[in-house]
Structures are given as C-alpha cells and as structure tokens.
Amino acid sequence: MTVDADTTAGVTMLGICGSLQARSKNLLLVQTAARVAPPGARVVLFDGLRDLPHFDPDLDAEVPPPPVATWRRALADADAVLIACPEYGFSLPGALKNAIDWVIGSGELEGKVVAITAATPSPERGRRGLQALRDTLGAVRATIVGGEPIVVGQAFEREVTDLVRSLITAVQSARAGH
C-alpha cells in the first residue's frame, strides 16, 4: 500500500480509545498510531469521552455542554478518525456509543473516513464489538477503513502502521473525489 508523501501533509487523524481504562491496550494502539504516522500526518488523541454527559437532546440547546462542544470541534477539525474499540458485552462500550450519539444530529461524523479496530489478545476476539461499532457508524454514513482486530503481539506495530496508511489512503481518495 502506498501513501503519497506530498498529500500526507496536513492529514490530521483524531485517535479515539473506546475504553476508559487508564492502561488499555486500545489506548496503546492509538498511541502507537500517533508514533508511526508518516511525516506530515498526525494522530491527535481525544481523551474526553469520560467528560461527556449522557446523551440528552434536551441538553443539546443552542449552546451544548462544554465537553460536547470540545468533542464536536475535535471531530470537525480532523480529516479522519481512528477508533480503537474494545468489546464490552458483545457490543461497543457505552461511553463510545454515547459520544457517537452526541454527533449524529450535529453532523461532525457525517461521511467522515473512520478506521476501526480493536487491540485484542487473539484474532477471534473483538469482532462483535467492531460489528456493533460499524452498525452505529452507519447512522452517519461513515466510510469505514479496517474493521479487523489487531492482536497485541509481534506484528502489532506493523499492523497499526498498515491501518494508519490505509486511513491516509482513504482520505487521499476522498479528497480526490473517488
């Protein structure tokens, strides 16, 4: 997979860890993505899921709660999104679902290029959570990149690098109108 170095300049990817756990392997995945991003591209970690109030349309007035405004601004400023999502109860974590609910109506994720994955101990783990995330992102017609778990092991960094490059390629293609 090739990434045109001239067009990685200015590519900003918002990295989101779906887990609130301080030492999450999914957080490690997003941090690894930030470290291996090619020159000119960057992954910015969003660490505010825990600050978002429960989605309530009554709170979404002319001026949304400050954590919601911060979340929406971070998404709007990003060219693409990378979500590392653990599987909780055969689905996606409630905090991540809540965050997505806050932007379904406001549109910051609408049509956005989104890479999804999960850091897992084995390749068969995490698939139901990723499918639930894929289904949820269908509400905003996101362009999904990836979608497979990444096993924490020998090939971890290489697979994260490949996913970042795939995400950049998808952004380049979207910019070119393909």
Residue 6 confidence class, pLDDT cut points 50, 70, 90: low
SS3 per residue for 81-140: EEEECCCECCECCHHHHHHHHHHHCCCCCCCCEEEEECEECCCCCCHHHHHHHHHHHHHH
* Closest C-alpha among 150, 166, 115, 161 to residue 26: 150
Q: What is the pTM of this model?
A: 0.94
Residue 2 confidence class, pLDDT cut points 50, 70, 90: very low
Sequence-separated (6 or more) residues with CB below 8 Å from residue 92: 18, 85, 129, 132, 133, 136
CATH of the domain at 136: 3.40.50.360
Residue 135 belongs to domain spanning: 5-175
* Number of domains comprising the chain: 1
Sequence-separated (6 or more) residues with CB below 8 Å from residue 69: 63
Please tell me which residue, 108 or 10, carries the higher pLDDT value: 108
SS3 137: helix
pLDDT of residue 7: 52
What is the distance in angstroms between the CA of the first residue and the CA of the last residue of the chain?
Answer: 17
pLDDT of residue 1: 44
Mean pLDDT of 75-88: 97
pLDDT of residue 10: 84
Both structure tokens of 111: 């049509």
What are the residue ranges of helices labelled H in 105-155? 127-137
Render pLDDT for 24-78 as a digit per residue (tens, 0 to 9): 999 999 999 999 999 999 999 999 999 999 999 999 888 999 999 999 999 999 9
**Percent of the chain scoring above 90 in pLDDT:** 91
